[in-house]
């Protein structure tokens, strides 16, 4: 009998060591692609308030995270560390989506395993560079905002798809080009190369979230734009801008929706 995908996902989610987690994700994605995992799996769905993560970095309030000036080598390393933490959380985020929402089509599992596989690559790219710079993942405190939103939306796949990929991950599409420019001005070409890889693939990750958000809206006969705005008001009050229109259009947002989002900032 083939091993169950949900039991295997749970093992990866609960793995604390980052490199071991990345290897587990790579194997999971490969085994799924090659048909070696079954969805006939009665593993119960656990809340997983705290996924597997190392003891460091220490998690603090966002206001207590270190300053991220790019004017010094350490400031640039601090910023790269923040990206590493985002990517590590994004591995768990993608695994949790595939693990938790078991009524979704089979392609949903494959999509989020692909995302987890790519996020693991992003994490390794940044961590390897941090080590070259004399630091490592865990060298500075970090905050837990992304995972907190995962927990808040675990009761409803529509809420998860609306608010994590389309809000929190899409925010990366808005801010990363400006950060790449600042790294380039600082003469850090390797950081720019890494962030470009992440930026290009994150467009695809947000697109996956968009696709499944619209799928859920069609299932429930909901109008996507109104539903999204309602959820924004419920969870955030309002969005932060400005928005990277070109990247968001590539990721599946439409012109009317972006215009409505921009008007809500006024």
- Any residues with CB less than 8 A from the CB of 128 and at least 6 apart, and which? none
Handedness of CA 185, 190, 192, 195 (dihedral sign): negative
The residue-averaged pLDDT of 20-32 equals 98
Count of structural domains, the chain: 1
Cα–Cα distance for residue pair 138/127, rounded to 1 Å = 10
Range of the domain at 135: 5-264
Phi, psi dihedral angles at 244 (to 5 degrees): -85, 95
> What's the pLDDT at 266?
58
pTM: 0.96
pLDDT tens digit sequence for 30-56: 999 999 999 999 899 999 999 999 999
Report the C-alpha gap between 209 and 199 in whole angstroms: 15
Percentage of residues of the chain with pLDDT beyond 90: 89
Per-residue pLDDT of 53-104, as tens digits, reads: 999 999 999 888 887 778 899 999 999 999 999 999 999 999 999 999 999 9
| Residue 165 · residue 208 · CB < 8 Å | yes
Residue 46 and residue 38: Cα distance in Å, rounded? 19
């Amino acid at each position: 009998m083939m091993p169950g995908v949900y039991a295997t996902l749970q093992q990866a989610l609960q793995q604390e060591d980052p490199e071991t987690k990345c290897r587990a994700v790579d194997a999971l994605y490969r085994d799924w692609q090659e048909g070696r995992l079954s969805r006939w799996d009665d593993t119960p769905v656990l809340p997983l308030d705290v996924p597997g993560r190392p003891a460091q970095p220490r998690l603090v309030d966002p206001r207590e995270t270190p300053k991220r000036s790019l004017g010094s080598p350490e400031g640039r390393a601090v910023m790269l560390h923040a990206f590493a933490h985002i990517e590590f959380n994004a591995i768990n985020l993608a695994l949790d989506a595939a693990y938790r929402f078991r009524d979704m089509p089979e392609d949903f599992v494959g999509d989020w395993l692909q995302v987890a596989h790519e996020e693991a690559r992003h994490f390794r790219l940044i961590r390897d560079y941090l080590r070259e710079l004399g630091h490592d993942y865990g060298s500075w405190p970090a905050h837990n905002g992304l995972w907190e939103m995962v927990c808040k939306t675990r009761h409803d796949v529509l809420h998860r798809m609306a608010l994590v990929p389309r809000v929190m991950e899409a925010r990366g599409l808005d801010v990363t080009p400006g950060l790449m420019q600042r790294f380039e001005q600082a003469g850090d070409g390797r950081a720019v190369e890494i962030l470009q890889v992440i930026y290009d693939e994150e467009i695809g990750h947000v697109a996956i979230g968009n696709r499944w958000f619209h799928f859920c809206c069609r299932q429930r006969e909901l109008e996507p734009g109104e539903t999204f705005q309602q959820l924004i008001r419920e969870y955030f009050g309002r969005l932060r801008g400005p928005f990277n229109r070109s990247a968001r259009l590539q990721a599946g947002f439409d012109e009317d929706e972006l215009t409505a989002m921009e008007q809500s900032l006024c």
